[in-house]
Amino acid sequence: MKVLEIEHITKKAGRRTLVDDMSFDILQGDVCGFVGPNGAGKTTLIRMITGLIRPEDGNIRIEGFDVQRDRMKALAQVGAIVESPIFFPYMSGQDNLLNLVKLHANIPKEQRAPRVDEVLRIVGLEARGKDKVKTYSLGMKQRLGIAQALLGNPKLIILDEPANGLDPMGIRELRNLILELNAKHGITFFVSSHLLDELQRICSRFVIIKEGKLVWQGTQEQWQQIAGSISLEDHFVEMMTS
């Protein structure tokens, strides 16, 4: 079952091609690592998947719904943190989410507060939910971002460099949260990161891009067959310089 289908996607800015005829699929249950050097086009593609910008060419489908033609249904299947999540610092985490949950038309009014409490519990913020966001650590803000992404009960969660700025404990918590949401709630993940060792630990699939083009995509098993004991990082450096 395909959760995300990227089909011949091209994005241009003036005469520059930022994403060039890119195609790949992500399957139900995957934790997919999305890697590529700075400026490769990761955030640009993620912004297209989440409907923030439009491709010049190609189709993106989420759970079979086309992001351009069936926008509401497609975007209802996905939760995302693109760039750092923005919360009101003088409001509590809970109140921030109570505001954001109103954007989900499919959640009835009386279920808003219970849903907010539920996602706070899932990400382990129930004890701090009533504290102002400005008192949160970066790792807590990141978890609040994931709580926000979970509100609409998405099939797919997209995270753009979620580990940025996190300390080793924060990275470990994030890793465990992703793996738990994947295993217990069946959520598929698409995660961009420059932390290749970290991705190699959690990902069942990789998509590697360079200068807007797909370089390699496949499963962790396929990766190990071609890479053997060479780490993702070493192979990555080789791919990018060859």
- Beta-bridged to residue 170, according to DSSP, are none
Q: CB 33 → ligand ATP: shortest distance, Å?
A: 13
Q: Does 170 bind ligand ATP (CB under 6 A)?
A: no
148 interacts with ligand ATP by CB under 6 A: no
Q: 132 or 213, CB closer to ligand ATP?
A: 213
Give contact residues for Mg ion (rule: CB under 5 A).
42-43
- For CA atoms 80, 8, 212, 33, give the dihedral sign: positive
CA distance 54 to 67: 9
In the set 4, 6, 32, 44, which binds ligand ATP (CB under 6 A)?
A: 44
HEC letters along the chain? CEEEEEEEEEEEECCEEEEEEEEEEEECCCEEEEECCCCCCHHHHHHHHCCCCCCCEEEEEECCEECCCCHHHHHCCEEEECCCCCCCCCCEHHHHHHHHHHHCCCCCHHHHHHHHHHHHHHCCCCCCCCCEHHHCCHHHHHHHHHHHHHCCCCCEEEEECCCCCCCHHHHHHHHHHHHHHHHHHCCEEEEECCCHHHHHHHCCEEEEEECCEEEEEEEHHHHHHHHCCCCHHHHHHHHHHC
CB of 159 to Mg ion, least distance (A): 11
Pick 13 or 103: Cβ nearer ligand ATP: 13
Segment interacting with ligand ATP, rule: CB under 6 A, options 40-48, 76-84, 145-153, 198-206: 40-48
Q: Which does 242 bind (CB under 5 to 8 A by kind): Mg ion, ligand ATP, none?
A: none
Q: Which of 9, 22, 33, 42 binds ligand ATP (CB under 6 A)?
A: 42
Candidates 38-46, 110-118, 126-134, 173-181 — which segment interacts with ligand ATP by CB under 6 A?
38-46
Helix axes of 93-100 and 109-122: crossing angle, nearest 10 degrees: 130
What residues between 15 and 34 interact with ligand ATP by CB under 6 A? 18
- Could you say whether residue 13 binds ligand ATP (CB under 6 A)? yes
CB 124 to ligand ATP: min, Å: 27
38 binding ligand ATP? (CB under 6 A): yes
Of positions 10, 17, 28, 43, contacts ligand ATP by CB under 6 A: 43
Total number of residues that touch ligand ATP (CB under 6 A): 10
Contact between 40 and ligand ATP per CB under 6 A: yes
Closest distance to Mg ion from the beta carbon of 43 (Å): 3
